[in-house]
């Protein structure tokens, strides 16, 4: 394997974890694929891909449907999984405790079905 992919790529900025993990996975395979468009939030990626701007790198979000013009393509297992966590010290105020509770419920939804927590690439 090896080479440069020239298809347009819609991605978050390179300092974002998902972009870094994706680029590291490509590098391990001897590939380079530079984004042609950087967006500020996940929700914009499927929108731009659906409008024909190229491929996109995002995560699957439970309950959020992709545009009909976009299909999911799962990344191979060699691509590192995205880990998400919450850190805190001391007692939490009620609003923070509620946030942690909701985050745990959301994380449980992400891990149900196994593949939902893996990164995804989407193409028109």
Distance separating alpha carbons of residues 87 and 34, to the nearest angstrom = 33
What pLDDT, on a 0 to 100 scale, did the predictor assign at position 82?
A: 81
The pLDDT of residue 77: 83
Say what the pLDDT of residue 38 is.
Answer: 97
Predicted pLDDT of residue 113: 53
SS3 at position 57: strand
Would you state the pLDDT for residue 122?
Answer: 53
Q: Tell me, what's the pLDDT at 3?
A: 93
Q: Are 8 and 36 in contact (CB under 8 A)?
A: yes
CA distance 26 to 78: 10
Which residues of the chain, if any, have pLDDT below 70? 1, 113-124
Global pTM?
0.71
């Amino acid at each position: 394997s090896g080479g440069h992919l020239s298809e347009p790529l819609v991605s978050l900025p390179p300092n974002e974890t998902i972009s870094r993990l994706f680029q590291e996975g490509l590098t391990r395979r001897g590939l380079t694929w530079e984004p042609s468009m950087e967006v500020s939030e996940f929700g914009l990626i499927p929108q731009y891909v659906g409008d024909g701007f190229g491929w996109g790198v995002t995560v699957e979000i439970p309950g959020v449907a992709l545009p009909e013009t976009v299909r999911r393509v799962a990344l191979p297992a060699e691509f590192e999984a995205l880990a998400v966590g919450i850190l805190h010290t001391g007692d939490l105020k009620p609003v923070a405790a509620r946030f942690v509770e909701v985050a745990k419920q959301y994380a449980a939804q992400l891990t149900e079905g196994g593949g939902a927590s893996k990164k995804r690439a989407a193409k028109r």
